[in-house]
Chains A and B, each alone.
Chain A
Amino acid sequence: MTTAQPLIQARGLVKRFGSFTAVDAIDVAVRAGEAFGFLGPNGAGKSSTMRMIGCVSPPSGGELRILGMDPVRDGPEIRARLGVCPQLDTLDPELTVRENLITYARYFGIARRVARLRAAELLDFVQLSERADSKVEPLSGGMKRRLTIARALVNEPEIVLLDEPTTGLDPQARHLVWERLFQLKQQGVTLVLTTHYMDEAEQLCDRLVVMDGGRIVAEGSPRVLIEQHSTREVVELRFAGESQEPFVSKIDQLGERVEVLPDRILLYVPDGDAAVAEVTALGLHPINVLVRRSGLEDVFLHLTGRTLID
């Protein structure tokens, strides 16, 4: 296979469950060595897409090629070269940490001796060596997730699929997971991940698609998406009172765009501090002011009119 050919190629990919269309004709191409993200709220069709790429869910329509093969016909051959970190843990709580890795390695035809070495290396990589011989049951959520990531690497996969890799983890545990994923990326492993966290997408993804209602609404690198769909800075203003609405008409000419959320108004401007000065000059006194850089959250809000996490 040449490097020019995408590892994952989807054209008009569709997934239907009865009359419900979860994935509605999406086009995706993931190249070798890149970290590719599916960003969107719950129910956007990210997990359904991941399951199709993981060759455990046959597409309802369109075309899908993974590593140049057909996921329906060549499922086991493709899965032998994928690493999968599912959204919900699927570890065996009764086995030890090490046994979880070794038994899983055997499914890939890896010799027991090699599996043992590989397990030791991977436990070192995800910083679980000290827990190698304890059962999985009492481990924290972050440790379980790191073990799942280690398990996904046991076959030295060409593509690693991560479905919401840090959902449900505390901030410290999330950073540890990001660190490991970033290291994998540095090693040239192709990462495909879904997330509804903007910071996660910004940290890890070279390129991403924004999904909403089963469709792709934007595509590009985090930086380009922000440039295209948002201003350089955002001013978040919170005014005293029941509703923010009465203040909108007073300030909406100050920015390129205004978004009203239940508890604050977002003012999209090239220069945040200058905009704050203009607000004050109008004689308005918000109880809270925050100037920040635009992020993917703002891109999503602009494209769909909704926030990512309701």
Chain B
Amino acid sequence: MGSEGMTQLAAKRARPGPARVPALAVLQYHLVGYRHTWRGGVLSSFLLPTLTVLGFGVGVGAFIDQGVEGVSYLEWIVGGLLASTALQVAIAESTWPVYSSLQWTRIYFAQYAAPLRVTDIMAGQLAFVLFRVLTSAAAFLLVTGVLGALRSPWAVLALPVAALLGLAVAAPTFAYAATASSDSWLALLFRFAVIPMTLFAGVFFPVESLPVGLRWLAYATPLWHAVDLSRAATLGTAPVWSVTGHLLYLAAWAVGGWLLAHRALRRRLVV
């Protein structure tokens, strides 16, 4: 190690200290990792919406002559599919990556040994989840727009909705993954939360056609609130519920999930 180079470097940096926005440094780390893997995912983020639009919209839609609520089936489901894509990306990115960073690669322990706080580690991870949710949602919007499935330019508002939903589900999922004692708990989350939500939270048919008990269960899921907003955006109509109500409900999930995740990660890192 050239001692001259060392002194020069030392002079360039005033005092060693935490990064100015530490969470941003954590996000950068995740993006560097993503540079190695994005090629595998990019095809599926375009292919998947294309296939679902063709399969559900054109294929299933052909059996539904009169459409739903006055629009074609394809136009009706596209907003919901966008929200459910956001849900799946958000949960996938906050289950195994979080579990692995605590159990396998133990990256979070390395980050906590640096001048990062629990909050920075979490914020950086969730910012990366949001990046993945937003780019997937944007790809979805682009494909469906090209295929003529969007009825209104308001459809762009589905992006912030996807982001809010992403945070609303990723934050509690982070808490869940950080407390999971084995990775089989993660697969359970998909079986018992993601799949039922996708099926019953108004993506493929109106929640109103469910029996009352199940209907309230659907209303309780964060997905339904995002589906209603997202559908309103792609159709250019008013949502079934109030916009403020939806936003507040999703924000409550995000804030509650954040607090749980912070507690869970703290318990793992600070012992």
CB neighbours (8 Å) of B16 from chain A are 80-81, 108-109, 155-157
CB neighbours (8 Å) of B22 from chain A are 107
Distance of A122 Cα from B5 Cα, bound (Å): 11
Per CB-CB distance, the 3 closest pairs between chain A and chain B, nearest first, are A90-B110, A109-B19, A107-B114
Residues in B229-271 with C-beta less than 8 Å from chain A: 269-271
Closest chain A residue to B34, Cβ basis: A94
Residues in B19-55 with C-beta less than 8 Å from chain A: 19-20, 22, 25-26, 28-29, 32-33, 36-37
Interface residue count on the B side (C-beta < 8 Å) = 37
Distance of A237 Cα from B93 Cα, bound (Å): 61
Are A107 and B111 interface neighbours, CB within 8 A?
yes
A-B contact pairs, 23 of them (CB 8 A): A56-B109, A56-B270, A57-B270, A75-B117, A76-B18, A76-B115, A76-B117, A79-B113, A79-B115, A80-B16, A80-B17, A80-B115, A93-B105, A106-B29, A107-B26, A107-B111, A108-B18, A109-B20, A111-B13, A121-B9, A155-B114, A156-B9, A156-B10
CB neighbours (8 Å) of B6 from chain A are 121, 156
CB neighbours (8 Å) of B114 from chain A are 79-80, 104, 107-108, 155
Distance of A84 Cα from B105 Cα, bound (Å): 16
Are A99 and B112 interface neighbours, CB within 8 A?
no
CB neighbours (8 Å) of A118 from chain B are 9
A92-B105, A117-B5 are known contacts. Are A77 and B115 too (CB-CB below 8 A)?
yes
Contact of A88 among B12, B106, B117 (CB under 8 A): B106
Closest chain A residue to B107, Cβ basis: A92
Chain A 178-200 interface mask (CB, 8 Å, partner B; 1/0): 00000000000000000000000
**Any B CB within 8 A of the CB of A307:** no
**Any A CB within 8 A of the CB of B2:** yes
Are A106 and B28 interface neighbours, CB within 8 A?
yes
Distance of A88 Cα from B105 Cα, bound (Å): 10
Closest chain B residue to A107, Cβ basis: B114
**Any B CB within 8 A of the CB of A218:** no
Are A121 and B110 interface neighbours, CB within 8 A?
no
Distance of A20 Cα from B149 Cα, bound (Å): 63
CB neighbours (8 Å) of B28 from chain A are 103, 106
Are A54 and B113 interface neighbours, CB within 8 A?
yes
**Any B CB within 8 A of the CB of A114:** yes
Q: Which residues of A contact B (CB under 8 A)?
A: 17, 51, 54, 56-58, 75-77, 79-82, 84, 86, 88-95, 99, 102-104, 106-111, 114, 117-118, 121-122, 124-125, 151, 155-157
CB neighbours (8 Å) of A114 from chain B are 9, 12-13
13 further contact pairs, Cβ within 8 A, besides A107-B25, A155-B16 = A56-B269, A56-B270, A57-B271, A58-B270, A82-B113, A89-B106, A92-B33, A102-B32, A103-B32, A107-B115, A108-B19, A114-B12, A118-B9
Closest chain B residue to A148, Cβ basis: B110
A77-B17, A106-B19, A107-B111 are known contacts. Are A91 and B105 too (CB-CB below 8 A)?
yes
Nearest Cβ in chain A — how far from B270, in angstroms?
Answer: 6
Nearest Cβ in chain B — how far from A64, in angstroms?
Answer: 15
Contact of B107 among A51, A90, A99 (CB under 8 A): A90
Nearest Cβ in chain A — how far from B148, in angstroms?
Answer: 39
Nearest Cβ in chain B — how far from A90, in angstroms?
Answer: 4
Are B106 and A103 interface neighbours, CB within 8 A?
no
Nearest Cβ in chain B — how far from A58, in angstroms?
Answer: 7
Nearest Cβ in chain A — how far from B123, in angstroms?
Answer: 13
Closest chain A residue to B1, Cβ basis: A125
CB neighbours (8 Å) of B270 from chain A are 56-58
Distance of A124 Cα from B114 Cα, bound (Å): 22
CB neighbours (8 Å) of B107 from chain A are 90, 92
Nearest Cβ in chain A — how far from B10, in angstroms?
Answer: 6
CB neighbours (8 Å) of A76 from chain B are 18, 115-117
Contact of B110 among A86, A109, A122, A156 (CB under 8 A): A86
Are B17 and A108 interface neighbours, CB within 8 A?
yes
Distance of A125 Cα from B18 Cα, bound (Å): 25
Distance of A124 Cα from B28 Cα, bound (Å): 25
Are B2 and A121 interface neighbours, CB within 8 A?
yes
A57-B271, A91-B110, A124-B1 are known contacts. Are A110 and B32 too (CB-CB below 8 A)?
no
Distance of A91 Cα from B105 Cα, bound (Å): 7
